[in-house]
Amino acid sequence: MSNKRVMIIDDDAEVLRLMKGQLGALYDVKGFLSGADALASLAEGSSAPQLILLDIAMHGMDGYEVLSRLKADEKFKRIPVVFLTGMTDEFSECKGLEMDVVDYLKKPVAGKVLLARVQHYLDLYSTTTEMGKLDESRLTSLVEPLTERELEVARLMAEFRSDREICDILYISMPYTKKLVAAVKEKLGLEKRGDIRRYLV
């Protein structure tokens, strides 16, 4: 079993059981039936996960509230979160993307697709937190800070990835990729993409 940790938050016990079964042989998986229990576990100092799969429509605290609390906590704000939900309307998807979830998977998700996406985001998290190619300490003084999604794009731009590569790596549309790249360039004051060299370690 890998030492990579995945947290699943879903108030459907059967869905939680199935996902833990699919991922448990490969990763250290913890499942919670409520956002409150998951947040309490994190607050108690248990090992933070490297990826969170989060349902939206839950009793009590919904996924949006859980995500907001994670993003407000300096210790957990950079953990990638994937919404895993039966909500298929455009409003819900756009709201999730605006809140900087890294992906929006619609239930039911085929086992192979779930495994591939989880592996992809665990690899991406490892790369973006350990390589340190982008000098992120210099980004704290920006007049308008980068969102979490824009920061992911900036890290890939620092590796001189093309729009197509960024699109494929982050599983986002090309129009959304171009919008994020343009926002990064504007906030960092880059005339052209190659100017990002100014922000490399």
Residue 91: per-residue pLDDT? 75
The values of phi and psi at residue 28, to 5°, are -80, 105
Q: What is the pLDDT of residues 148-183, one digit of tens each?
A: 899 999 988 888 787 888 988 898 998 999 999 999
CATH number, domain 136-199, options 1.10.10.10, 3.40.920.10, 3.40.50.300, 1.10.8.100: 1.10.10.10
Residue 191: per-residue pLDDT? 87
Q: What is the pLDDT of residues 24-60, one digit of tens each?
A: 999 999 999 999 999 999 988 767 899 999 999 898 8
Which residue ranges make up each domain of the chain?
A: 5-130, 136-199
State the Cα angle at 201 between 159 and 145, rounded to 5°.
Answer: 80
* Residues 6+ away with beta carbon under 8 Å from 74: none
**pLDDT of residue 131 exceeding 50:** no
Q: Which fold has domain 5-130?
A: Rossmann fold (3.40.50)
C-alpha distances (whole Å) from 28 to each of 32, 61, 138, 173, 187 are 14, 25, 34, 31, 38
Q: How confident is the model at residue 130 (pLDDT cuts 50, 70, 90)?
A: very low
